[in-house]
Amino acid sequence: MNVNSSSIFADIPEFLPAELCQTLVEKPVVRIERIVSRGHSSEADFWYDQPCAEWVILIKGKAKLAFFDGRDIVLTEGDYLLIPANCKHRVAWTSPAMDTVWLAIHIFEPLN
């Protein structure tokens, strides 16, 4: 049995011209990603509209998510939320002064 370990903070590039998104685990019903932002945000006219639910926790940094219905949610270290499937949202802001490290879990089956 292989056991793999690493750190959520390992191998973050010094130069980060675009948001870094890495799949850590992928199975038929779940995908776990590490996302690193450094002042990145979604394009002004872009909305994520994902067919799956996404549970996300902010491990380090600060960010603001904007939702299509006009709500904004500010996240700081340790904050998490569940974004339902087909809930339009975007990254409005991430701190340019530090790395913002996210752990995102995409769930590909209905949540009851």
1 domain residue, yes or no:
no
Residue 89 lies in a domain: yes
Rounded CA separation 26/33 (Å) = 9
Q: How many domains does the chain have?
A: 1
> For residue 1, what pLDDT band results from cuts at 50, 70 and 90?
confident
Query: 33-64: per-residue pLDDT in tens?
Result: 999 999 999 998 999 999 999 999 999 999 99
Q: Which residues pair with 41 in a beta bridge?
A: none
User: pLDDT digit string (tens) for 49-105?
Assistant: 999 999 999 999 999 999 999 999 999 999 999 999 999 999 999 999 999 999 999
Residue 74 CB partners (closer than 8 Å, separation 6+): 62, 63, 64
- Is 36 part of a structural domain of the chain? yes
pLDDT at 101: 98
CA distance 3 to 42: 35
Q: With b meaning 16 or more CB within 10 Å and e meaning fewer, what string describes 17-26? A: eebbeeeeee
User: What is the reported pLDDT for 112?
Assistant: 66
Domain hosting 64: range is: 20-107
